[in-house]
């Protein structure tokens, strides 16, 4: 019904943002990292949404990327997983991590997600494996990493770019590294070592 909403973040709660668009404030449930990312935006934010209707409530669930929304929809097809549980999975794992975990039967990684036990993880893998392809998973991961690299290259200059590269070398994804370095505001942009130490504390 509502594919996406573009507007200004008027307020945030622990598990949602209030997005003002056209004079209306929409409460949209999101993961913690997405709420934080949306609230840091200076201008309008585009949030891809899923409109969930049940007998006693109508709720919007939101994602900053269409890919996350697609993974959320896939998770809802798994027997026993509702919107809150699906959002919990994507709060603990990125869409890329989830795809590879399903394709490699990695029950342990999926069980790390809030509210997902071993049995649910097994069911999730069983029901989603046929709907995912390894080639697509690799293509999307490469596209996301390239996108993150483009953003970090255009936005992060001076020592911050070196700090991002150092974190990537330590095994973090380029997106995680970029987010962490951006959060460090009390260290000089030229102090690579200081930025690196501060960013590592955030993980």
For residue 113, the model assigns a pLDDT of 81
| 40 or 4, greater pLDDT | 4
Q: Which CATH class is domain 66-132?
A: mainly alpha
3-class SS of residue 10 = strand
Q: Quick one: pLDDT at residue 30?
A: 95
Alpha-helix residue ranges (DSSP H) falling in 51-155 = 66-76, 83-92, 95-103, 107-111, 118-128, 134-155
Instruction: Encode pLDDT of 22-49 as tens digits.
Output: 999 999 999 998 998 898 887 889 999 9
Q: Fold match between 4-63 and 66-132?
A: no
Residue 8 exposure: Cα atoms within 13 Å on the Cβ side:
5
Q: pLDDT tens for residues 109-161?
A: 888 887 788 888 898 888 888 887 777 767 777 776 676 665 455 455 567 77
Given the structure tokens 């709660």, which residue do they identify? 13
Please state, for a pLDDT cut of 90, what percent of the chain lies above it. 30
Measured from the Cβ of residue 91, the count of other Cβ atoms closer than 10 Å reads: 16
Partner residues linked to 19 by β-bridges: 9, 26
State which fold the 4-63 domain adopts. Answer: OB fold (Dihydrolipoamide Acetyltransferase, E2P) (2.40.50)
**pLDDT of 186 higher than 90:** no
Average pLDDT over residues 55-61: 91
Domain extent listing, the chain? 4-63, 66-132, 136-201
Show Cβ contacts of residue 182 under 8 Å, excluding neighbours closer than 6 positions: 156, 160
Q: Average pLDDT, whole number, for the chain? A: 85
**What's the confidence (pLDDT) of residue 150?**
57
């Amino acid at each position: 019904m509502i594919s996406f909403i573009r507007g200004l973040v008027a307020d945030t709660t622990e598990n949602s943002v209030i997005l003002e668009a056209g004079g209306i404030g929409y409460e949209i449930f999101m993961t913690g990292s997405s709420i934080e990312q949306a609230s840091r935006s200076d201008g309008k934010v585009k949030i891809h949404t899923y409109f969930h209707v049940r007998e006693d409530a109508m709720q919007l669930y939101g994602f900053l990327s269409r890919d996350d929304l697609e993974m959320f929809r896939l998770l809802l097809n798994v027997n026993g997983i509702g919107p809150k549980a699906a959002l919990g999975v994507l709060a603990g794992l990125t869409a890329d991590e989830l795809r590879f975990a399903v394709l490699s039967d990695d029950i342990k990684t999926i069980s790390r997600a809030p509210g997902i036990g071993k049995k649910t993880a097994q069911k999730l893998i069983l029901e989603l494996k046929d709907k995912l392809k390894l080639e697509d998973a690799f293509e999307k991961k490469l596209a996301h990493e390239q996108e993150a690299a483009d953003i970090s290259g255009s936005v992060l200059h001076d020592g911050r770019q070196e700090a991002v590269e150092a974190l990537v070398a330590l095994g973090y994804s380029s997106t995680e590294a970029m987010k962490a370095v951006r959060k460090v505001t009390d260290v000089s942009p030229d102090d690579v070592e200081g930025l690196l130490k501060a960013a590592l504390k955030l993980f």
